[in-house]
Amino acid sequence: MDMRTVTLIQGDGIGPEICQSVIDIFAAAKVPVQWEMAMAGLEAIEKFGNGVPPETLESIKRNKVALKGPTTTPIAGGHKSVNVTIRKALELYANVRLAKSMPAVETRFENVDVLIVRENIEDTYAGIEHMQTPNVAQCIKLITRQGSMAAIRYSFEEARKLGRKKVTCVHKANIHKITDGLFLTVFREVAAEYPEIEATDIIVDNCCMQLVSRPEQFDVLVLPNLYGDIVSDLCAGIVGGLGVAPGGNIGRDCAVFEAVHGSAPDIAGKGLANPTALLLSSVQMLQYMGLIGHASAIQNALESALAEGVKTRDLGGTASTAEYTQAIISRLVLDGVDAQTVPMTNAAAAELPVISENWTLVGADVFIEHKGGLPQMPETIGPFTLRLISNRGTKVWPGPTPDILLVDHFRNRYVADSSVTRNDVLALLQELTAMGKHWCHVELLNQVAGEARYSKAQGE
Ligand code: NAI
């Protein structure tokens, strides 16, 4: 079988010890992988003044796959997190974590085996935040068709490759009708391309409740960034915590796999480190590379060592890192592993369609800063009619103003009977400025064939 080169970043603290365990197990399992060492973390900062030298990024881009040990982020000195730097530089659009019950790790649940795919770039993590008034903060939740599609396609590709039966989209589209609604729409479009896989969806709060009562019902979960961040840690807790949680970051052209835990400086160099999480990350990496047989062989050997009571100290055992590694090696069964190799696929490489629509501009939501009760706003300006004023999303005009807390941030929805231009909107803003209205944020209101491309206010 062809050898493939993988970038190996050993990292800091226990990183080199747990990486050595993976190197030894891969060699014993005859995995057709050769390592290219690259540097990141403290050593790189000392040598190059940069936690992620350009050579390391080049190595990952060249080899397309990397395994990374944990890296220490110095608290002082303003060094950026190595993980964030790598994720941004390589546009790693999906985060994938496995939550699987392990024999030696006692938890309330058995037979949990959930693969969690989280969109990794967008949502509220795009970091578009502004104070609107001294009392009102706003963060833009950005969901794109392309970003959603890349992550969702990846979840279905993995399900198909690993013989998993069901993909569940986790969302809050009942409330976030437009943003999560787009994520769910894209999910349904993509699901139609994989008829052999059951596609379901669930509201995120119900999903959390179900996960902590009957987690074994889930197979693959795919989520927007924020829900994914929270739900993936919840899933790690269900199977015994972050110590045995593997993970990977999947990009357009490359992928980086790593354990979720840190560099554990307190036990570094003592032979006590548990390599399980990094080894499970390397199993995910092999699955990504299509080396399904080798991945299963290593996973089975790991589970059988644990089931027979060989554990490191953190799991209540006495084995050193080296003894635990040997126990896994001695349990490897390699018959027929090569036959289970499938081509490496890259879901994001598939076309990500950009759709076009003929939008008609019909108005604008003009947000103003205003203290002390309902603002007096003109009911018509040019082609626009004031349709509603809302405060924190609740309609406060027309009709009786509900008895609610009013903050100093009012939305005024001005809509025309027919299409308007951006110049009309500018004239609207100039008029409001001339009247002393302190506008702080504007959103355009568009329609397609009479259908709004914006949400209604509560009570509208
Ligand atoms: P940590 O995960 O390194 O350690 C927390 C506790 O868990 C410690 O008692 C440690 O001994 C234990 N532990 C962690 N992994 C273990 C393993 N494989 N085997 C046995 N015991 C293990 O978290 P901490 O102490 O908050 O962070 C230490 C450093 O790691 C920091 O500089 C932090 O920035 C970095 N870090 C790096 C990550 C990464 O590169 N992916 C992720 C999280 C933290």
CATH number at residue 316: 3.40.718.10
In terms of pLDDT, which residue wins out, 456 or 193?
193
Closest ligand 1 atom to 71 CA: 40
Whether 22 maps to a domain, the answer reads yes
CA of 247 to the centre of ligand 1 (A): 14
| pLDDT tens for each residue of 133-179 | 999 999 999 999 999 999 999 999 999 999 999 999 999 999 999 99
User: Last residue of a domain, which of 189, 204, 233?
Assistant: 233
- Protein residue closest via CA to atom 39 of ligand 1: 70
**Coil, helix or strand at residue 233:** helix
Per-residue pLDDT band for 433 (boundaries 50, 70, 90) equals very high
- Sign, CA torsion 202/203/205/206: negative
**Closest C-alpha to 453, from 178, 228, 236:** 178
Specify the pLDDT at position 343: 85
- Protein residue closest via CA to atom 34 of ligand 1: 73
- Protein residue closest via CA to atom 10 of ligand 1: 264
List the end-to-end C-alpha distance of the chain, in Å, as a whole number.
64
Same-domain check for residues 245 and 333:
yes
Whether 350 maps to a domain, the answer reads no
Lowest mean pLDDT among 196-200, 277-281, 403-407: 403-407
Same-domain check for residues 137 and 92:
no
Same-domain check for residues 202 and 116:
yes
Specify the pLDDT at position 256: 97
Percent of the chain at pLDDT above 90? 81
Same-domain check for residues 251 and 334:
yes
Same-domain check for residues 54 and 115:
no
Same-domain check for residues 227 and 264:
no
Specify the pLDDT at position 122: 93
Which pTM does this prediction carry? 0.91
Same-domain check for residues 146 and 206:
yes
Same-domain check for residues 119 and 225:
yes
Same-domain check for residues 248 and 219:
no
Per-residue pLDDT band for 459 (boundaries 50, 70, 90) equals low
Per-residue pLDDT band for 302 (boundaries 50, 70, 90) equals very high
Specify the pLDDT at position 1: 72
Asked if residue 77 has pLDDT above 70, the reply is no
Per-residue pLDDT band for 76 (boundaries 50, 70, 90) equals low
Whether 418 maps to a domain, the answer reads yes
Specify the pLDDT at position 360: 97
Specify the pLDDT at position 85: 86
Average pLDDT over residues 412-439: 97
- Sign, CA torsion 193/112/334/37: positive
State the chain's mean pLDDT as an integer: 93
| pLDDT tens for each residue of 189-234 | 999 999 999 999 999 999 999 999 999 999 999 999 999 999 999 9
CA of 382 to the centre of ligand 1 (A): 62
Same-domain check for residues 184 and 117:
yes
Asked if residue 458 has pLDDT above 80, the reply is no
CA of 143 to the centre of ligand 1 (A): 32
Q: In whole angstroms, what is the distance from residue 448 CA to residue 407 CA? A: 33
Closest ligand 1 atom to 11 CA: 40
Question: Residue 372 is part of a domain; what is its CATH number?
Answer: 3.30.70.1570
Same-domain check for residues 335 and 244:
yes
How many H helices and E strands in the chain? 12, 19
Ligand 1 pocket, residues with Cβ under 6 angstroms: 14, 70-73, 83, 243, 258, 261-267, 273-274, 277, 314
Same-domain check for residues 323 and 367:
no
Whether 333 maps to a domain, the answer reads yes
Q: Which range, 99-113, 259-273, 348-362, 425-439, is most confident?
A: 425-439
User: Last residue of a domain, which of 201, 233, 265?
Assistant: 233
Q: In whole angstroms, what is the distance from residue 338 CA to residue 109 CA? A: 33
Number of domains in the chain: 3
Q: In whole angstroms, what is the distance from residue 336 CA to residue 382 CA? A: 76
CA of 43 to the centre of ligand 1 (A): 17
Closest ligand 1 atom to 278 CA: 18
Whether 414 maps to a domain, the answer reads yes
Per-residue pLDDT band for 49 (boundaries 50, 70, 90) equals confident
Whether 351 maps to a domain, the answer reads no
Asked if residue 78 has pLDDT above 70, the reply is no
CA of 87 to the centre of ligand 1 (A): 19
Whether 354 maps to a domain, the answer reads no
Q: Which residue among 73, 81, 261 has the greatest number of ligand 1 atoms within 8 angstroms of its CB, and so is best to mutate?
A: 261
CA of 329 to the centre of ligand 1 (A): 25
In terms of pLDDT, which residue wins out, 81 or 386?
386
Asked if residue 251 has pLDDT above 80, the reply is yes
User: Last residue of a domain, which of 294, 322, 345?
Assistant: 345
Range of the domain at 25: 1-107+240-345
CA of 260 to the centre of ligand 1 (A): 8
Q: Which residue among 85, 102, 263, 267 has the greatest number of ligand 1 atoms within 8 angstroms of its CB, and so is best to mutate?
A: 263
Whether 162 maps to a domain, the answer reads yes
Average pLDDT over residues 408-427: 97
In terms of pLDDT, which residue wins out, 76 or 190?
190
